[in-house]
Amino acid sequence: MRLSGSHGRHKICSNDLLLASTSGVYPVGAASVKELYVSGDQPNGFAVGLKVEAGEGAHTWYWYERRGTNPTAKPLAQGIAVPDCAVCHGTAGRDYVFFRAP
């Protein structure tokens, strides 16, 4: 469990394509899911990053984020090159991904 970050408390799981990539841009299909938590480690939604196009740039990533536990809640972010996601993830050391976590 990571204790900080713009998503607050979270746990990250990455798929095999993201984990196997060790340099350069990530391959299409590379993905991570962040389970989001509030204090007391209660679930509070999730966020997803998925590489959808070869190459560099925010337009190569799909992002999704939903807070809370209501399965019909409106997402805070959903789409390719979502500006709020792209601004933050654009500061990552490599291709919009901060952490690779099994």
Structural domain count of the chain: 1
Q: What is the pLDDT of residue 6?
A: 66
User: Does residue 4 form part of some domain?
Assistant: no
Reading phi first (left if > 0) and then psi (alpha if -120 to 50, else beta), residue 47 is in beta
Query: How far apart are alpha carbons 27 and 31 in whole angstroms?
Result: 9
Strand arrangement of the beta sheet that strand 77-80 belongs to: 9-14, 31-38, 42-51, 61-67, 77-80
Q: What is the pLDDT of residue 42?
A: 87
Q: Tens of pLDDT along 62-94?
A: 999 999 988 889 999 999 999 999 999 999 999
Q: Tens of pLDDT along 49-60?
A: 999 999 999 999
User: Does residue 65 form part of some domain?
Assistant: yes
Domain of 34 in residue numbering reads as: 9-89
